[in-house]
Amino acid sequence: MPHSSENYFAPLIQSKPNKKLTSMQPLGMDKKSITMNFKYYFAHTLGRHGPCFTTHYPYKALAHTVRDRLMERWKSTQQAYDQADCKRTHYLSLEFLMGRSLGNAMLNLGITDAATQGLFDLGIILEEIAESEPDAGLGNGGLGRLAACFLDSCATLQLPVKGYGIRYEYGMFRQEIQNGYQVEEPDHWLRDGNPWEVERPEFSQRVSFGGRSEFYRDDKGATRARWVDTRDVLAIPYDTPIPGYRNGTVNTLRLWQAASTDEFDLEEFNAGSYTEAVESKNHAENITMILYPNDSSENGKELRLKQQYFLASASLKDVMRKWKSLHGNNLKKFAEKNCFQLNDTHPTIAVAELMRILMDEERLDWDHAWQITCRTMAYTNHTLLPEALERWPVKLFKRLLPRLLDIIFEINAQHLAQVAIRWPGDTKTQRRMSIIEEGPEPQIRMAYLAIVGSMSVNGVAELHSKLLAEGLFQDFYRFWPEKFNNKTNGVTQRRWLAYCNPGLRELVCESIGDGWISDLEQIKRIAPLAKDAQFRRRWFEIKQQNKKRLAALVEKDCGVRFDPKAIFDVQVKRIHEYKRQLLNVLHVIHLYDRIKRGDTENWTPRCVLLGGKAAPGYVLAKLIIKLINNVAQVINSDPQVGNLLQVAFLPNYRVSAMEVICPGTDLSEQISTAGKEASGTGNMKFMMNGALTIGTLDGANIEIREEVGDKNFFLFGLTEEEIKERRQDYQPDLIIARDANLSRVMDLLEKGHFNQFEPGIFKPLIDSIRNPLDPWMLAADFESYVDAQQQAAERYKDREQWLIGSILNTACSGKFSTDRTMHDYNREIWKLTPVLPIPTQ
Ligand code: 26Q
């Protein structure tokens, strides 16, 4: 279909908006209405009859039934925002890891029971058809899932917050395991259509690339710039409704898709070059083709920069269009009524793009434009790894975004002038704080642009925020201490407890009511019940059920049979050296070695599950996956090991897998090198579902331990400060030599016990452990890790004591709701007022 931003729709009715056309009859939320609607879609819309052998069409029919019930609430909410003329926040993110929508939408609308029963009467099991929905995997991991949880909480708190992102044609790759190695397969998630989105071509925007800046004098004699000879791309918005929890609010996630402009094609087509015309169409469409599968920055990729600018420009123009439709050309209150939250540096080019729009298109002068920009932008940092800080070559910017480069240079000049006033003559500080890193290949430091252009800079857990202020951004912290703040992450308890763990939901609701679903602090009221043997019994039975469900998944996807009587020890997250999956493997090998030596007195049977994707170019991470699989193979096929120890690697870890994993987990592995994991959010999902954590003092683990108490958390490892200290004189060979357990583990690895027919393949991993410069210091934490694991194993044998710990973990998870996180953002950064939807006819 051809797209063009102008006149996409000729007005249907010239004179008055037609009320009759847009009025909506509220749809029934009862079993009967839902069943009727479902049958209508199945037969009339989808054209299916009789028995149906696939789950796909019933899924589709139900999705449309649910979606219809979102529509009227969506409209009422958006109308209420317009009428209230409220302040709004625009959450800009290159990733929104939404997972599945059906179950979540039904939960939030309050129609799960009605739909389940209605379908059951038709002979359909809801859970079975819900499995047909592909995950919307438009994110890598933590940062993308955080954005999705934020949207859920904002809708529940009735905050006028809109998500802006990219509609990738291909989401996060599907991971297959072949001969123990990761193989990446494309994820064409839109293949069977997406019932949760609405295309809105009438709000398309034009995004420019290339060309050059041209300067001219305007009618008042002021020098102005325009960006000319550009190659433009269209941005088509697709909106997804984001329902709040049973409150009538439905917010919006707007994702942009790239398309070529008509005239662009035509021009070349008319010049007789059909193939070039098609090629340029492809160029445009390539921008939103694929999600970059790295969860730390991959530097300098031109297409990635195009994606970032495409998102920033289309979104800002959309906000400006909306503003003008409500306020005309008057920008006086723009800063008062808008906020842009930048999800890491990825959308930071928005700082320069807003300046460009305000100056070149809205004709504001620099100072006025700058005031608006740095009063509306706010930046969230998600990493402490210096190598993950985004930098872009100035050269690339000059070619792709010349006008934005002008603006960044000017921002930097004015910024450095301020620095020079504060620290006169201190050229070292000036150079350190420059947005432009000088050198043979000058680079733009995106984090510095974000800090300079924002009113707020936040980290995502207490320790992380402290380390930003004291380390990575210390110069900026000295300059603007008031900009820096912490916002500890959270997760939404609606998806991560109420939806994914129905057994526990029912028990908790029966005990303390359902207030916790929209106010997680209330969950602490189950704490006293930890003393109640009857309650513990039921808690135990639910956990066993969930472990059986998880065991079934593991058997289906790994071919390994987990025994639900064993302790389920789980580490699922992206594969990264700093997250230390390798340390986990060393412990597994240690347990295996104990079994082989007959050291199994008072043994606690254990099932170890690992899962996660490695960036396709991250060689060592991929080798860790291979090692896990080889170790699992050896252990699982050794009759002497039997049920004492089982190991599995779950392929294709994703949101919908975590929904089965976290309810069935006993022990949550959060074992990163202290000071490296900004926050972690998987740790919170496990805690909420009653797992105990074995972890280091890193990220939000520290706050989890504070909440649940040190008795119910298995702590090990060096602190961030001790790590820094020990680096000076770190000798892993010595540590290994002095630790009999670790020596035997290294021995097994080094003599190729797990790679009998693949000689030498694990050498890079072995070398990394023995390297005195190993940044992750595995050897330094091994002994205390093994101790903590032993304590966990001992505790597990005392079932009642374990259950008390499990109940208290759930009971103390109140802080880790994104409802709290969003409250904090709103109180200290956004300052939005909640707006109730207006029910309309
Ligand atoms: C950058 C440039 C080019 C290509 C890709 C990227 C890129 C993409 C994704 C860089 C980083 C990410 C994702 C980072 C991430 O998920 N960080 C995690 O954020 C969570 C939410 O705050 C934290 O809990 C985790 O600690 C942090 O690792």
DSSP 136-152: EEES-SHHHHHHHHHHH
| Average pLDDT value over all residues in the chain | 95
CA of 381 to the centre of ligand 1 (A): 9
Q: Atom of ligand 1 at shortest distance to CA of 139? A: 9
**Overall average pLDDT of the 339-362 stretch:** 98
CA of 238 to the centre of ligand 1 (A): 24
Give the distance from CA 24 to its chain's centroid: 35
User: Could you read off the pLDDT of 65-96 as tens digits, one per residue?
Assistant: 999 999 999 999 999 999 999 999 999 999 99
Give the distance from CA 808 to its chain's centroid: 27
Angle subtended at Cα 722 by Cα 716 and Cα 724, rounded to the nearest 5 degrees: 130
CA of 173 to the centre of ligand 1 (A): 16
Name the residue among 792, 535, 813, 827 with its Cα closest to residue 684: 813
| Pair of tokens at residue 476 | 């900026």
For the CA atoms of 296, 298, 303, 305, what is the dihedral angle to 10 degrees? 70
pLDDT at 1: 40
User: Could you read off the pLDDT of 287-304 as tens digits, one per residue?
Assistant: 999 999 998 877 779 999
- Decide: helix, strand or coil at residue 4: coil
pLDDT at 334: 98
pLDDT at 54: 85
Nearest CA to ligand 1 atom 10: 296
Mutate to test the pocket of ligand 1, among 96, 305, 383, 825 (most ligand atoms within 8 A of CB): 383
CA of 777 to the centre of ligand 1 (A): 22
Nearest CA to ligand 1 atom 21: 143
Helix orientation angle between 581-596 and 619-636, rounded to the nearest 10 degrees: 20
**Overall average pLDDT of the 374-389 stretch:** 94
pLDDT at 296: 84
End-to-end CA distance of the chain: 34
Pairing, β 484-486 against β 436-437: unpaired
**Overall average pLDDT of the 491-512 stretch:** 98
Question: What is the torsional sign of CA 422, 426, 429, 430?
Answer: positive
**How crowded is the C-beta side of 88, counted as CA atoms within 13 Å?**
26
Which protein residues are within 6 Å of ligand 1, measured from CB?
Answer: 140-143, 146, 292, 294-298, 304, 382-383, 390, 460, 489, 677-681, 699
Per-residue pLDDT band for 269 (boundaries 50, 70, 90) equals low
Q: Atom of ligand 1 at shortest distance to CA of 95? A: 9
Q: What percent of the chain has pLDDT over 90?
A: 91
Give me the DSSP letters along 209-244. ES-EEEEEE-TTS-EEEEEES-EEEEEEEEEEEEE-
CA of 491 to the centre of ligand 1 (A): 16
Q: Atom of ligand 1 at shortest distance to CA of 141? A: 16
Nearest CA to ligand 1 atom 2: 297
Nearest CA to ligand 1 atom 9: 295
How far apart CA 626 and CA 644 sit, in angstroms, is 23
Per-residue pLDDT band for 839 (boundaries 50, 70, 90) equals confident
The least confident of 12-16, 326-330, 545-549, 684-688 is 12-16
pLDDT at 8: 53
Give me the DSSP letters along 238-307. EEEEEE-SSSS-EEEEEEEEEEE-HHHHHHHHHTT-HHHHHHHHHHHHHTTTB----SS--TT-HHHHHH
434 or 279: which leads in pLDDT: 434
CA distances from 97 to 150, 172, 242, 492, 689 (A): 11, 9, 13, 13, 21
DSSP 323: H
pLDDT at 21: 73
Nearest CA to ligand 1 atom 6: 297
Nearest CA to ligand 1 atom 25: 680
Q: Atom of ligand 1 at shortest distance to CA of 304? A: 3
User: Could you read off the pLDDT of 526-581 as tens digits, one per residue?
Assistant: 999 999 999 999 999 999 999 999 999 999 999 999 999 999 999 999 999 999 99
How far apart CA 521 and CA 599 sit, in angstroms, is 44
Q: Atom of ligand 1 at shortest distance to CA of 380? A: 22
pLDDT of residue 485 exceeding 70, the answer is: yes
Mutate to test the pocket of ligand 1, among 308, 344, 349, 673 (most ligand atoms within 8 A of CB): 344
CA of 580 to the centre of ligand 1 (A): 17
Nearest CA to ligand 1 atom 12: 295
State which H helix or E strand residue 162 sits in: strand 161-166
pLDDT of residue 10 exceeding 60, the answer is: no
CA of 296 to the centre of ligand 1 (A): 6
In 76-160, beta strands by DSSP E: 88-92, 96-99, 136-138
Q: Atom of ligand 1 at shortest distance to CA of 460? A: 22
CA of 678 to the centre of ligand 1 (A): 9
CA of 143 to the centre of ligand 1 (A): 5
How far apart CA 225 and CA 355 sit, in angstroms, is 12
User: Which residues carry out catalysis?
Assistant: 382, 573-574, 579, 681, 685
Nearest 5°: phi and psi at 466? -65, -45
Per-residue pLDDT band for 4 (boundaries 50, 70, 90) equals very low
pLDDT of residue 7 exceeding 90, the answer is: no
pLDDT at 5: 43
How far apart CA 18 and CA 12 sit, in angstroms, is 9
Angle subtended at Cα 529 by Cα 524 and Cα 532, rounded to the nearest 5 degrees: 170
CA of 816 to the centre of ligand 1 (A): 19
Q: Based on the number of CB atoms within 10 Å of its own CB, is 218 exposed (0-12), middle (13-18) or buried (19 or more)? A: exposed
State which H helix or E strand residue 205 sits in: strand 205-209
Q: Atom of ligand 1 at shortest distance to CA of 388? A: 10
How far apart CA 131 and CA 124 sit, in angstroms, is 13
pLDDT at 17: 62
Nearest CA to ligand 1 atom 1: 297
Nearest CA to ligand 1 atom 24: 680
Nearest CA to ligand 1 atom 14: 295
Mutate to test the pocket of ligand 1, among 382, 671, 702 (most ligand atoms within 8 A of CB): 382
Mutate to test the pocket of ligand 1, among 91, 143, 578 (most ligand atoms within 8 A of CB): 143
pLDDT of residue 349 exceeding 70, the answer is: yes
Nearest 5°: phi and psi at 42? -60, -45
